[in-house]
Amino acid sequence: MATGLSVGLSLGTAIGIVLGMTVFDDLALGLALGLGFGTAIGAGVGIGARRGRP
């Protein structure tokens, strides 16, 4: 689960930075969105890996 969460945080933070800088024009909002997206994505990946799903 730790691997899925770290990958999810990395991807989500990158997505959030891009969204924050392009859509909202605010880096702080992008980082907050990124951590939210990353936690959700990472938790989903970690749960899937624990259940034996890709």
Candidates 16, 35, 36; CA nearest to 26 is 16
Token digits of residue 2: 């730790």
Residue type, 36: G
Tell me, what's the pLDDT at 50?
A: 61
Distance from C-alpha of 13 to C-alpha of 39, rounded to nearest angstrom: 9
Tens-place pLDDT, residues 3-49: 666 777 777 777 777 877 788 777 777 778 777 777 777 777 666 65
Residue 1 pLDDT > 70, yes or no?
no
Tell me, what's the pLDDT at 28?
A: 79
Candidates 43, 2, 36, 34; CA nearest to 15 is 34
Query: In sequence order, which ranges of the chain are alpha helices (DSSP H)?
Result: 2-22, 27-50
